Structure 1
Amino acid sequence: MTNKINDNPIANIIDIQTLQESVEVECKQASGRDGHGAVPNDMWETYSAFANTRGGLILLGIKEKKGTFTVEGITNPAPLIKNIWDTVNNPNKVSVNLLSESDVRIETLEGQSVIAITVPRAPRQSRPVFMNANPLNGTYQRRYEADQKCLPPAVNKMLAEQEEVRDNRILEHFTLDDIDPESLRIYRQMFIDAKPQHPFLELSDQEFLRSIRGWQKDRATGKAGLTLAGLVMFGKWDAIQDALPSFALDYQEKDDSTHRWIDRIYTDGSWSGNAFDFYRKVYRKLTVDLKVGFNLTDGGQRQDTTPAHEAIREALVNTLAHADFSTESNILIEKHPDFIGFRNAGLMRVPVHEAKAGGNSQCRNPAIHQMFLNIGLSEKAGSGIPKIYSNCKAQNWQPPHLYEKDELNQTLLELRMVNMVSPELHQRLIETYGEGYNKLSELKRTILMTAITESWFNHERICSLTSEHTREVTLALSQLVNAGYLESAGQHRGKIYHLKGIEVPTPDNEAGRNISFVLSPSQAALPLIGSKKINEVPDLTEPMPELNPPVPELVPELNPPVPEFDLSASNFWLELKEIASPIAQNSGRKQKPDVQKAIIDLCTKSAPNCLRLSDIAQLLNMNTDTLRKNYLREMVKEQVLFLAYPTIPNHPEQGYKLHKD
């Protein structure tokens, strides 16, 4: 399938400033030593990074300085074009050529010639894409707007993903005794219910497993036994642990007011621990609260499922069928009052936008997927993700959020159980935008729905809610602003969008000055400037100020008042330090999930007030740059946290909170 980034030439994008909202764009001046133009060496790092991540656009002839982009142009682009083709076709320099003729072109911006290079995401069989014939030292991935060298474990994961099928592997020394008989019995009964005339029903257990690819014989070697799929789906817990020591399945129902689980199912040895039983237990938990109206099928039978049931069922099956069971990351299903989250180890084998469009299935565990399909619990290959999206739409829910965590090698899907087109919301949309709203494209209507339901949002937020490519989103946002539907604030990757009349907080406006921050003891001693300050606490380790200091000359107030200190606020800071202490006192390597949980706990305790970056760093005993780049930026991207000043992401006094106001 052609990458959609090819569909819109760069000239159709409003301007280069708008284009910079996407992290999938990299600009390089490429002026060369003589100023006439040269392909920069680090361009190939970006080529590798885009190819190994989500693809992107490289622009040569554009200068970037402190977030400002200016078109410098390339005086004579022809030699650079030749150099690009010579290099990309040289296997000693670049491992694979992913470019077609239309991917490298000369465009005109602001009267200057620039070179635009569209880098598609490499197919799974070609990853890793690396430089200088050295995959372990020449492989890069895109991390936000930066190219980052991959460590050997990440490279090895890409190499392992080149394998076509993961769950057909025969497990030596595993027999039918390792199958949980009750799990297999229930599955066979469900098979009867789904296909009462099927010839498989007459087979013995071993032959039945062979027919559904749970048992296999290698004709070349004569080796026979349970497959990985058979053991994962129907195995006993001790046998699964023997084959897959890191295997873990976890379901948690959480009360968002406390962020603690109130119900849990996990592989603790008290039940079979296999994927089939996990599905049965968890599906009931996920759907118990769904209301079912009285509807009849064409045959006159009561229909006891809804689009919501089908979306949840497909999401759960998809999580199990696409998981990489060889990693240490577990499958996690979280149920919250307003959304359900599904997480599996392993990145998607096709780009997210292709998965949303459907038709191109590269399932990591096709035998497991087929086992669910046999009993009517899944859609045919390539249609599962589109079915989830269409059913959420039919249920009038907010579009799902499907995304990857590259650095953690995880895929996540969130079903947002928020009614997006209730009669009240529809009426508000018409009142806000007029009857012309109904004539807009589905993408633009989705954007305006988001504007109504969220106080502000950015380019990346819309990309997560739609199957359209980043460039279609860029164009739609620009058109909605130009047409007066929306207003924008900020620049480049700090640009956000909102309805007219909404004041987005900045350090210099009234909305920003009304933000409340939790203050550390040292900050509490500062004068009250700018934002309203709460929890003003002195640094109790410092000497108290003199009650009658020497009076300086030319100061009319001879006896300034002694500040009053709120000792209860000091206790509050000590409570924050107690929350952070497990991380702060850990002198070894800090585990990322533990740090993230500590940040959430600190922000939960501080709500509704914001915590500054410097305070979080002080509490956790961590470097501010490490905290921002490796933790906070990602949590903001995933809307786990929100910025106090959303238009200025790198503001030195930036604050973080759990909820968008």
Structure 2
Amino acid sequence: MITEKKVSIDLKKLINENHIYESVNIEYKRARNELPRDFWKTYSAFANTAGGYIILGITENNEQCFEVTGVLDSDHILDQLFSIGNNPNKVSKNILSTEDIEIDNIDGKTVIIIHIPEVSVQEKPIFLNNELSQSYIRKHSGDYKISTDELAALLRDRSDHLDYELLDNYTIEDLDIDSVERYKFELHKRNPDMGFNKMDNDLFLQRIGVLVEDRNDNRIIKMRLGGLLFFGKYEAIKSRLPHYHVDYFDRRGETERWRDRVDGGNFEFPDLNLYNYFLIVYDKLSNSIERPFELDTNMIRKTQVDIKTALREAFVNMIIHADYLNSRYSLIAEVYDLYYSFKNPGTMKISKSEFFLGSNSRPRNTLLVNLFTRLGAAEHAGSGSQKIIKVVKEHQFSLPEIDSNCEQTSFKLWVVEDIERCDNLTNKEKLIYKSISQGRIEGLSKSEIQDLHPEFSLSQLTRVLDKLVDKKLIIKQGGNRNRTYARSFQPLEAISRFEHISEAIKKLLLKDI
């Protein structure tokens, strides 16, 4: 029996503030005595996309506004929910438990709030009526039947070795030998005792997993798809993947188009395989860093090595996690004045929280991961993301932004603080923000801020503080008499504090052993 309890989303607040509308992760449905027929389309869509909440007992009226109408028989509706959900002929898998369901009373009317979690990549797609084509995904505030390409992408994502595909009729002649020789030289410098420099190219490519025996075809030596992508001649790659395209833009400044571009297929870059793309573009990314030098605590000039490391990790992450069988999107790295953008075809195979915490890693192209790891340009087990987060925290940059759907992932790496992104703040407003951000964690009172800035009148200071609060740069804490103002708490700070707490606990435990 499901008991009434606190809802996971503040539905009452949404209603009181007139913010009750459907979105990418909220769906309202009228339900009096029966579970709505279209419930399962939304169930499938949320499960296959990013999860969400279905609220039963709220109806869209003739004025296209939502109002609470309530459910009359919640027990019967919940019986239907689990009865149908556990019928494999109706739904491919039941992903709900009683913990995902909450009952609330709003203005004397009962509503049922059902949390639909996003399922793992191995479980997707969740489909209906025993037909894979009856899979849905969520776009904006609607449920849409999955396309053939989107379904194929979900099924491909179940594999962690997409680039292990063995290719017929491709030989070493389809590779750019200069790329192979350059890579072999780099590996020899890193591992001089391995004897890579003494190997012929065939043996070397077998040692690094690019050429392997096909045990299902008389042990014939064949090339893996990842090897073709990494070392291949451009036309050879295009013959297997006609949609293959890599790009780089420098969009800094006021130029209408771009300052610089590296374009796959351009005669200036005749064999732009993934290795050449990495070498050329990473050099341009490194040279794009124009932030001024700063002094560290020992009054020694900081270099930008750490920012280059973050750029390298983000750039390589884009390359190794791309779905190269996706025919709609390309690899695109872009430089802007305040941030870097990295886009690749394919959804992110882990959650955003797993990325930021570095708690998990799900490769899509294992061979590419291995080839970049040998160069020292990639990390196993998710530690690459932690290098990015470390740089962001140390420089107090804005939190990186990730947008991922069924077909494309976009990663934005900011290289400025939040305050620098607000182009409509005055210097005085930025000055007040800086004083608050450098103050105590619990915040500063208005009188303390005024003591720091006696040039401001009380009314001027009040207007500035209200504006900073409206922009969510600072927060108000406490009542009028005890009110303080503090910098908005950032997600990365929570991660940092969690790390400090974990380390403190470890030390205490070790002390007792």
TM-score, normalised on structure 1?
0.60
Amino acid at match of 2:393: K
Do residues 219 (structure 1) and 215 (structure 2) align?
yes
* Aligned equivalent of 1:10: 8
Residue of structure 1 aligned with 2:152, choices 128, 153, 156: 156
User: Are the equivalent residues in 1 in contact too, given 2:174–2:236 (CA < 8 A)?
Assistant: yes
User: Are the equivalent residues in 2 in contact too, given 1:292–1:304 (CA < 8 A)?
Assistant: no
* Aligned equivalent of 1:326: 325
The alignment partner of 1:394 has SS state of helix
* Aligned equivalent of 2:491: none
* Aligned equivalent of 2:94: 97
Amino acid at match of 1:322: H
**TM-fit CA distance, 1:258:** 3.6
TM-score, normalised on structure 2?
0.76
**TM-fit CA distance, 1:166:** 0.6
Q: Distance in 1 between matches of 2:136 and 2:391?
A: 37
- How do 1:570-585 and structure 2 match up within 5 A? none
- How do 1:294-443 and structure 2 match up within 5 A? 305-328=304-327, 329-406=329-406, 409-420=407-418, 428-429=432-433, 435=439, 438=442
C-alpha distance after superposition, 1:145-170 (max 9, x if no partner): 11122233322332333333210111
User: Are the equivalent residues in 2 in contact too, given 1:172–1:224 (CA < 8 A)?
Assistant: no
C-alpha distance after superposition, 1:347-399 (max 9, x if no partner): 11223333233222112112102211111112223233343233223233222
* Aligned equivalent of 1:29: 30
The alignment partner of 2:182 has SS state of helix
C-alpha distance after superposition, 1:538-562 (max 9, x if no partner): xxxxxxxxxxxxxxxxxxxxxxxxx
Q: Distance in 1 between matches of 2:206 and 2:479?
A: 59
Q: Distance in 1 between matches of 2:211 and 2:396?
A: 42
Amino acid at match of 1:317: V
User: Are the equivalent residues in 2 in contact too, given 1:252–1:334 (CA < 8 A)?
Assistant: yes
The alignment partner of 2:79 has SS state of helix
**TM-fit CA distance, 1:345:** 0.9
Residue of structure 2 aligned with 1:139, choices 135, 138, 160: 135
Amino acid at match of 1:91: P
C-alpha distance after superposition, 1:419-453 (max 9, x if no partner): 3478998852265689565569xxxxxxxxxx978
Q: Distance in 1 between matches of 2:211 and 2:302?
A: 35
Q: Distance in 2 between matches of 1:67 and 1:480?
A: 38
Amino acid at match of 1:265: V
**TM-fit CA distance, 1:92:** 1.7
Do residues 78 (structure 1) and 75 (structure 2) align?
yes
> CA distance change for structure 1 residues 260 and 369 in 2, over 3 Å: closer, same or farther?
same
Q: Distance in 1 between matches of 2:276 and 2:479?
A: 51
Do residues 169 (structure 1) and 169 (structure 2) align?
no
**TM-fit CA distance, 1:198:** 4.2
The alignment partner of 2:332 has SS state of strand
**TM-fit CA distance, 1:82:** 1.1
Amino acid at match of 1:286: L
Residue of structure 2 aligned with 1:123, choices 115, 120, 124: 120
* Aligned equivalent of 1:44: 40
User: Are the equivalent residues in 1 in contact too, given 2:443–2:484 (CA < 8 A)?
Assistant: no
The alignment partner of 1:392 has SS state of helix
Identity %: 29
Residue of structure 2 aligned with 1:254, choices 248, 251, 255: 251
Q: Distance in 1 between matches of 2:392 and 2:370?
A: 24
Residue of structure 2 aligned with 1:233, choices 225, 230, 246: 230
Deviates more, 1:11-20 or 1:318-327: 11-20
- How do 1:443-522 and structure 2 match up within 5 A? 456=471
Amino acid at match of 2:401: H
Amino acid at match of 1:384: G
**TM-fit CA distance, 1:197:** 3.7
> CA distance change for structure 1 residues 45 and 188 in 2, over 3 Å: closer, same or farther?
same
**TM-fit CA distance, 1:23:** 3.1
Q: Distance in 2 between matches of 1:141 and 1:84?
A: 20
Q: Distance in 1 between matches of 2:213 and 2:169?
A: 13
Amino acid at match of 1:382: G
Q: Distance in 1 between matches of 2:283 and 2:408?
A: 25
C-alpha distance after superposition, 1:167-189 (max 9, x if no partner): 01111111122222221222222
C-alpha distance after superposition, 1:197-241 (max 9, x if no partner): 446666443333223221222323324211111111111122212
The alignment partner of 1:332 has SS state of strand
User: Are the equivalent residues in 2 in contact too, given 1:429–1:437 (CA < 8 A)?
Assistant: no
Q: Distance in 2 between matches of 1:180 and 1:286?
A: 24
> CA distance change for structure 1 residues 16 and 452 in 2, over 3 Å: closer, same or farther?
closer
Q: Distance in 2 between matches of 1:364 and 1:109?
A: 46
The alignment partner of 1:46 has SS state of helix
User: Are the equivalent residues in 2 in contact too, given 1:11–1:107 (CA < 8 A)?
Assistant: no
**TM-fit CA distance, 1:405:** 4.5
Amino acid at match of 1:316: F
**TM-fit CA distance, 1:404:** 2.0
Q: Distance in 1 between matches of 2:483 and 2:405?
A: 35
> CA distance change for structure 1 residues 151 and 244 in 2, over 3 Å: closer, same or farther?
closer
Q: Distance in 2 between matches of 1:303 and 1:177?
A: 46
Aligned-pair RMSD on alpha carbons?
3.9
Q: Distance in 2 between matches of 1:160 and 1:280?
A: 28
The alignment partner of 2:258 has SS state of strand
Q: Distance in 2 between matches of 1:75 and 1:418?
A: 53
> CA distance change for structure 1 residues 114 and 484 in 2, over 3 Å: closer, same or farther?
farther
The alignment partner of 1:260 has SS state of coil
Residue of structure 1 aligned with 2:264, choices 263, 267, 276: 267
**TM-fit CA distance, 1:68:** 4.3
> CA distance change for structure 1 residues 259 and 485 in 2, over 3 Å: closer, same or farther?
farther
Deviates more, 1:157-166 or 1:234-243: 157-166
Q: Distance in 2 between matches of 1:438 and 1:421?
A: 20
User: Are the equivalent residues in 2 in contact too, given 1:433–1:485 (CA < 8 A)?
Assistant: no
Stretches of structure 2 lacking an aligned partner (at least 5 in a row): 1-5, 421-426, 445-465, 489-513
C-alpha distance after superposition, 1:261-290 (max 9, x if no partner): 221111225432111111110011112132
Amino acid at match of 1:191: L
User: Are the equivalent residues in 2 in contact too, given 1:200–1:211 (CA < 8 A)?
Assistant: no
User: Are the equivalent residues in 1 in contact too, given 2:104–2:112 (CA < 8 A)?
Assistant: yes
Amino acid at match of 1:220: N
User: Are the equivalent residues in 1 in contact too, given 2:187–2:196 (CA < 8 A)?
Assistant: no
Amino acid at match of 2:147: L
* Aligned equivalent of 1:288: 287
Q: Distance in 2 between matches of 1:50 and 1:371?
A: 36
> CA distance change for structure 1 residues 480 and 129 in 2, over 3 Å: closer, same or farther?
farther
User: Are the equivalent residues in 1 in contact too, given 2:321–2:365 (CA < 8 A)?
Assistant: yes
Q: Distance in 2 between matches of 1:55 and 1:353?
A: 14
> CA distance change for structure 1 residues 12 and 199 in 2, over 3 Å: closer, same or farther?
farther
User: Are the equivalent residues in 2 in contact too, given 1:11–1:108 (CA < 8 A)?
Assistant: no
Q: Distance in 2 between matches of 1:244 and 1:353?
A: 33
C-alpha distance after superposition, 1:281-317 (max 9, x if no partner): 0011112132585999xxxxx9965321111101110
> CA distance change for structure 1 residues 398 and 231 in 2, over 3 Å: closer, same or farther?
same
Deviates more, 1:15-24 or 1:365-374: 15-24
Amino acid at match of 1:320: I
* Aligned equivalent of 2:463: none
Amino acid at match of 1:388: I
Amino acid at match of 2:340: I
Q: Distance in 1 between matches of 2:401 and 2:469?
A: 15
Q: Distance in 1 between matches of 2:153 and 2:119?
A: 15
Q: Distance in 2 between matches of 1:393 and 1:402?
A: 17
Q: Distance in 1 between matches of 2:273 and 2:371?
A: 13
C-alpha distance after superposition, 1:493-544 (max 9, x if no partner): xxxxx9xxxxxxxxxxxxxxxxxxxxxxxxxxxxxxxxxxxxxxxxxxxxxx
The alignment partner of 1:114 has SS state of strand
